[in-house]
Amino acid sequence: GIQVEQSPPDLILQEGANSTLRCNFSDSVNNLQWFHQNPWGQLINLFYIPSGTKQNGRLSATTVATERYSLLYISSSQTTDSGVYFCAVVVGGTSYGKLTFGQGTILTVHP
Amino acid sequence: GAGVSQSPSNKVTEKGKDVELRCDPISGHTALYWYRQSLGQGLEFLIYFQGNSAPDKSGLPSDRFSAERTGGSVSTLTIQRTQQEDSAVYLCASSLSDEQPQHFGDGTRLSIL
């Protein structure tokens, strides 16, 4: 099956710093989503981004489908950004949206 | 509007008992998914429902697991004869269609004693 690799596995920042999270995938994909899992375990949709670039406030994401990677940018980080960031993909050629998740990046933002 | 609703939020039960977990998707969403999040396995797909089509059960770990979706809306995931390795957070998601983003509920934390 498809492999989804996220890096770095852990990231520690001071409030106000910027960061880039990466997601590599081993096959063509139909869909790609970025999620933030907060300390209470809730999975929050950040981006639905099978290709191209999107921005939402301090967060932006870019997916280069032909090169099989996606990047999540967090600018001016805040303590509320702490949690686990997951990338999840739907394998290309399938007729349904089963998500395959990466192992996540654990982000800790210190005040 | 209302998001995906799951109940109970927490469930503690003894090994060998049966449990039922409920998911109420976002209104109008035709696709419904169950996932499981455990320490050793990360987030993994269990089962998928789309409209009136036969469900994709390819992710169910054993025949002790089953799920149904009544009337194209609410879904129930049933685990029979629970084992300690079934302890995990069970997450439900729904989407407007296969090609739309999935929205997750808050999950049911299942603990098997």
Q: Give the one of B42, B50, B93 whose C-beta lies nearest to A96's C-beta.
A: B50
Q: Is the pLDDT of residue B30 over 70?
A: yes
CA distance A3 to chain B (A): 13
What share of chain B in percent tops pLDDT 70?
99
Asked if B1 is an interface residue toward chain A (Cβ–Cβ < 8 A), one would say no
The pLDDT value recorded for residue A24 is 98
Which of B43, B59, B109 is the closest to A86 by Cβ? B43
The C-alpha atoms of residue A77 and residue A40 are separated, in whole angstroms, by: 19
CA distance B11 to B20: 10
List CB contacts (< 8 A) between B43 and chain A: 86, 88, 99, 101
> So what's the pLDDT on residue A97?
77
Question: In this complex, do B45 and A98 lie within 8 Å of one another by their Cβ atoms?
Answer: yes
Grouping H, G, I as helix, E, B as strand and the rest as coil, residue B21 is strand
Mean pLDDT on A51-68: 97
Question: CA B83, CA B113: separation in Å to the nearest integer?
Answer: 9
Integer angstrom CA distances of residue B40 from A34, B9, B87: 21, 21, 11
Residue A89 in contact with residue A99, Cβ under 8 Å? yes
